[in-house]
């Protein structure tokens, strides 16, 4: 069902992405050790991830780092707890893997196995190394299990760039260890803040633990206008609704091929049993609040420069700008000169967070039309 807002888990519910699906499945089949899935927010990364992992029939667990988007700092305890939740979700959802996983982890320091009708694991996060779970050994044990079954185990981190703020544990170093010494594990990282994900991976940092490791990168595109129209027509047909043509044109124009927003509209249409201009306007209004909340998460961990970021986004919501025009607008808003270094740092953060992009004409722009609407209607 195209208009179901939950991440898709099978190919029949996932519109398009044929090329991206084949690239991802090929990388899994060929044993790629490190795979990244990147793209704007709501362009289908999680759906692509889950659909292909299910189709591959490989055992996998997904650690949701997106849940930490509002946290200025992520603690080691939170990392261990997230990993524990992911393992238990796998054990509960995949009965055929449960016994094998429990046996594989039985002798790992700091991992406790609970028997019962619904078996589970708990991962210790004690204050000292000896009191904490041995994560390298945990991953090595999963790798040995995969070897014994002649398969590969996938460890996925959704919105992995959030772990840049992890304190008390060097996650990139752990991932580099897994890459180097546990060949039957495949690492998959998704990220909507592409620059920050690359920074987390140390793509351009020779001193970073993962620097120089071979990586397959897959990008999720936005739909072209004819594809967006086709998505809405087919999704409407699935739920037995005949869309108003004027409303359909408005939706294609205002949501600009971002499949998450198109799905959000479809869910609204489905609930209200009509596809009208009113539904499109209602969707844009509600979606604007969601987009604004995501910018608020970005700003909450950068409170010192909050007014500067808002001033820059407000200018870009009016029209794309050159570097110098955007800098002058910030200086005019503050009534003082801003150094190039500080301005470049601010702009770099907006670009790395994928809130702003530099287009083919060299102009800085906001790519999400719903975010532009949110800014222009003072939703921030």
Residue 218 near residue 23 (C-beta atoms within 8 A): yes
What domains sit in the chain, N to C, each tagged with a CATH number? 11-219 (3.40.50.300), 225-275 (no CATH), 298-376 (1.10.10.10)
373's CB contacts (< 8 A; 6+ apart) are 254, 284, 288, 291, 379
Q: Tokens for 334?
A: 């503050």
For 126, which DSSP code? Answer: -
Query: What does the pLDDT read at residue 48?
Result: 97
pLDDT of residue 201: 97
List pLDDT tens digits, range 264-279: 999 999 999 999 999 9
Buried b / exposed e over 294-320, threshold 16 CB at 10 Å, is bbeebbeeeeeeeebbebbbbbbbeeb
Question: How large a percentage of the chain has pLDDT more than 90?
Answer: 92
Per residue in 212-269, pLDDT tens? Answer: 999 999 999 999 999 999 999 999 999 999 999 999 999 999 999 999 999 999 999 9
CA pair distance 181, 175, nearest whole angstrom: 10
pLDDT at 94: 83
- Average pLDDT, 10 consecutive residues per value, the chain (380 residues): 95 95 98 97 96 95 93 93 95 87 94 87 86 94 95 97 93 97 98 97 96 97 96 97 96 96 96 96 96 94 94 97 98 97 98 96 96 91
Cβ atoms of 33 and 9 closer than 8 Å: no
Q: What's residue 74's pLDDT?
A: 95
Mean pLDDT of the chain: 95
- pLDDT score of 118: 83
What was the pLDDT predicted at 134?
95
User: What confidence score (pLDDT) does residue 116 get?
Assistant: 76
Do the Cβ atoms of 101 and 91 come closer than 8 Å? Answer: yes
């Amino acid at each position: 069902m195209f208009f179901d807002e939950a991440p898709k888990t099978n190919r029949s519910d996932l519109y398009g992405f044929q090329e991206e699906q084949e690239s991802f499945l090929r990388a899994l089949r060929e044993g790629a050790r490190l795979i990244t899935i990147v793209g704007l927010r709501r362009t289908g990364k999680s759906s692509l991830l889950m659909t292909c992992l299910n189709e591959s029939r490989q055992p996998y667990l997904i650690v949701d780092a997106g849940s930490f988007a509002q946290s200025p700092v992520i603690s080691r305890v939170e990392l261990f707890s997230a990993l524990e939740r992911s393992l238990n979700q796998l054990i509960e959802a995949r009965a055929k893997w449960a016994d094998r996983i429990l046996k594989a982890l039985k002798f790992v320091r700091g991992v406790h196995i609970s028997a019962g009708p619904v078996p589970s694991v708990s991962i210790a996060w004690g204050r000292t190394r000896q009191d904490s779970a041995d994560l390298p050994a945990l991953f090595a044990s999963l790798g040995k299990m995969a070897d014994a079954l002649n398969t590969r185990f996938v460890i996925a981190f959704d919105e992995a760039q959030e772990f840049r703020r992890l304190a008390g544990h060097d996650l990139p170093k752990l991932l580099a260890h897994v890459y180097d010494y546990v060949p039957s594990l495949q690492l998959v990282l998704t990220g909507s803040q592409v620059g920050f994900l690359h920074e987390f991976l140390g793509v351009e940092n020779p001193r970073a633990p993962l620097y120089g490791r071979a990586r397959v990168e897959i990008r999720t595109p936005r739909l072209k206008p004819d594809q967006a129209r086709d998505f809405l027509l087919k999704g409407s047909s699935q739920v037995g609704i005949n869309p108003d043509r004027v409303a359909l044109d408005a939706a294609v124009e205002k949501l600009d091929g971002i499949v998450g927003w198109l799905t959000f509209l479809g869910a609204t249409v489905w609930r209200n049993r009509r596809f009208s201009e009113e539904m499109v306007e209602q969707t844009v209004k509600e979606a604007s609040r969601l987009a604004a909340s995501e910018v608020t998460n970005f700003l909450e961990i950068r409170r010192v420069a909050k007014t500067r970021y808002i001033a820059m986004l407000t200018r870009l919501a009016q029209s794309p700008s050159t570097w110098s025009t955007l800098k002058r607008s910030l200086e005019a808003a503050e009534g003082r000169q801003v150094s190039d270094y500080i301005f470049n740092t601010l702009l770099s953060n907006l670009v790395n967070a994928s809130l702003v992009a530099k287009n083919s004409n060299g102009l800085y722009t906001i790519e999400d039309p719903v975010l532009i609407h949110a800014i222009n209607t003072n939703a921030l």
